[in-house]
Structure 1
Amino acid sequence: MPQTIAFTKGHGTGNDFVIVPDPDGTLDLSDDQVAVLCDRRFGIGGDGILRVVRASAIDEGRELLAASTPSSGTVEWFMDYRNADGSKAEMCGNGVRVFVRYLVDVGWADLDGAPLNVGTRAGVKTVTRSDRGYEVDLGPFVVDDSGVLVRTRGGGAPRPGVGIDVGNPHVVVALPDDAELEGLDLAAQPLLQPEPPHGANVEFVVPSDPLVHEGVGSIRMRVFERGVGETLSCGTGVAAAALAVRHWAGPAAPDHWVVEVPGGTLGVRMPEVDGERHVLLSGPATLVYTGEVTLA
């Protein structure tokens, strides 16, 4: 029997998602169903699916609950994020803001006076309100400077990249100017040598001139997301790009950054939290429309 489900369409700086409420975890979407829902010609269209499910109703959420401590806070909701091809992903920085915006709008959570914890495959992420909309603490990060070569279609010789892990894997490549950034052919997936075991999102960045103004760094970026393709924005990719440029710039580099992507502008900061450096991402979250769709 065909099944009709409710959905909401949302986006964060153009990185768009089909939000599917499934609080009790009764919906089992196949990879093919996810791919059709995300198809921009035959489905609703989106860079991924955000299934809204209680942490107690999904295996990964129950694992988080079992490992939680009183100091880590409560986790009621789990963001089951799937890429547009149906594959599971660890995290999505734009997606988690849109996820929280949905929870607040439908009355399943609030941000009045307290942060909200969201379960993800990359652990628990804490979201608060900010001047830009919502800010998510992506947690600690890892910089891997061992070297990856990145080749794009028609881009000539491969370029070196730096690996950045912010709960999901990224490779960031520096470009000299806006002309090269705008001329990239990202219709095809960039080739990585060596290829990371689970693939990686690839960000291409150009520093602003000047790089730092009044203590805030500024860069532009384009991104190819694994399992999706080029997107207008990638939240974790924005964080990774800022971290990479900060790493290249050296110890005097600032801890506050503004990153321009084709879909808008996001903020990144790197404060010390409990003696460990974290990366936080801030930006808007927009809900566009709601509807119902019948699954094939």
Structure 2
Amino acid sequence: MKNGFFRGHGLGNDYIVMDPKELTFKLTPKNIKAVCDRNWGLGSDGILALVPSKKADFGLRIYNPDGSEAEKSGNGLRIFARYLHATGKTKKKHFTVETKGGLVTIDLHIDRHGDARAVTVEMGQATFKPAALPCTMPVDELIQQPIEAAGRALSFTGVSVGNPHCVVFKRAGESWSREDLLKLGPVLENHSLFPKRTNIQLAIPTGPREIFILIWERGAGETQASGSSSCAAASAAVRLGLVKSPVTVKMPGGTLNIEVAKDFSLTMKGPVAEVARGTLSPSFLRTLK
């Protein structure tokens, strides 16, 4: 379908899926921002682009609403998987997808209507090495390291799950507010320790196998839910001995289940929903250059 789109969400984190071969415009940063604008465009937390791959069954490029590119997205991968199945691009329930953050394995869970209502993703292996994020701090691992943001002295754990994350924990029984997220999120995202910026999770252990997180995404801002953030926060919580695997990660948008193996390989399972399919109008297309 020329200039067509598929729209879906994972726990309120919404993406538009497009096939660049079917577009009459290029996915430049300016055009990505225009399409993702919630007042002047379709509105989205990002664009998922189907691309060729020599290493996997499908290739995926992930674009943030500010026009920058993300290496990996757990919610994006679930939406992309549903798109592939729903549009007939695959009949398989098990396949692979190549992202800039590495190759992942997908398993679809099909309901009685024939829809992929949930998706399990093998998300790869978490690492706490500074070079993987990257982070300029001269340490072996980014485990409970000091950082200052918005006039506050904090401790963070840095995790890469194919994309970078900065996890800041409070103790069980304490709490983070949305005001904390809005103050700390942009400062930590652009902190000088992270030359390529980073995603932020403000986390609290809420049970022996459960945590709650607020999320600030690099290039997108406050987000209701995030698969890669859930994986990063879960792996950090296990690494710090705060919880045991499997970890239930609760967010404002809902809940994901994360299994953290002994070698910190990560498996994510969560719901996904399709919202709409359509085409961009000729008048809107004329605004894209």
Whether TM-score is above 0.5 comes out as: yes
Equivalent AA in structure 1 for residue 75 of structure 2: N
Equivalent AA in structure 2 for residue 87 of structure 1: S
Equivalent AA in structure 1 for residue 15 of structure 2: F
Deviations along 1:175-222, whole A, 9 cap, x unmatched? 2446433442416613365421211101001111xx21xxxx101111
8 Å contact 1:25–1:54 — kept in the other structure? no
Q: What's 1:175 paired with?
A: 170
Deviation at 1:133, TM superposition (A): 1.2
Q: What's 1:33 paired with?
A: 31
8 Å contact 2:119–2:269 — kept in the other structure? yes
Q: What's 1:60 paired with?
A: none
Q: What's 1:134 paired with?
A: 119
Q: What secondary structure, in the 3-state scheme, does the structure 2 residue paired with 1:189 have?
A: helix
Q: What secondary structure, in the 3-state scheme, does the structure 1 residue paired with 2:232 have?
A: helix
Inter-partner Cα distance in structure 1 for 2:80 and 2:46: 12
8 Å contact 1:150–1:190 — kept in the other structure? no
Equivalent AA in structure 2 for residue 190 of structure 1: V
Inter-partner Cα distance in structure 1 for 2:176 and 2:228: 23
Equivalent AA in structure 2 for residue 264 of structure 1: G
Stretches of structure 2 that go unaligned for 5 or more consecutive residues are: 111-116, 129-140
Which stretch of the first structure deviates more once superposed, 75-84 or 140-149?
A: 140-149
Q: What secondary structure, in the 3-state scheme, does the structure 2 residue paired with 1:138 have?
A: strand
Equivalent AA in structure 1 for residue 98 of structure 2: G
Deviation at 1:246, TM superposition (A): 1.0
8 Å contact 1:83–1:227 — kept in the other structure? yes
Inter-partner Cα distance in structure 1 for 2:121 and 2:78: 7
Q: What's 1:110 paired with?
A: 91
Q: Pick from 182, 206, 225: which aligns with 1:186? A: 182
Which stretch of the first structure deviates more once superposed, 125-134 or 163-172?
A: 125-134
- Shift in CA distance, 119/255, structure 1 to aligned 2, threshold 3 Å: same
1:290 is the counterpart of 2:277: yes
Inter-partner Cα distance in structure 2 for 1:145 and 1:197: 15
8 Å contact 2:227–2:268 — kept in the other structure? yes
Equivalent AA in structure 2 for residue 270 of structure 1: V
- Shift in CA distance, 12/148, structure 1 to aligned 2, threshold 3 Å: farther
Q: What secondary structure, in the 3-state scheme, does the structure 2 residue paired with 1:239 have?
A: helix
8 Å contact 1:148–1:194 — kept in the other structure? no
Equivalent AA in structure 1 for residue 27 of structure 2: L
1:260 is the counterpart of 2:257: no
Inter-partner Cα distance in structure 2 for 1:242 and 1:91: 16
Within a 5 Å distance, the mapping from 1:51-70 to structure 2 comes to 51-55=49-53, 65=54, 68=55
Q: What's 1:122 paired with?
A: 101
Q: What's 1:81 paired with?
A: 62
Which stretch of the first structure deviates more once superposed, 193-202 or 281-290?
A: 193-202
Q: What's 2:44 paired with?
A: 46
Deviations along 1:235-291, whole A, 9 cap, x unmatched? 1001111111111116xx42201011111110100236xxx5411111011110111
8 Å contact 2:36–2:43 — kept in the other structure? yes
Q: Percent identity?
A: 30
Q: What's 1:15 paired with?
A: 13
The total of aligned residue pairs comes to 260
RMSD: 2.3
Q: What's 2:76 paired with?
A: 95
Q: What's 2:135 paired with?
A: none
Q: Give the TM-score taking structure 1 as reference length.
A: 0.81
- Shift in CA distance, 258/185, structure 1 to aligned 2, threshold 3 Å: closer
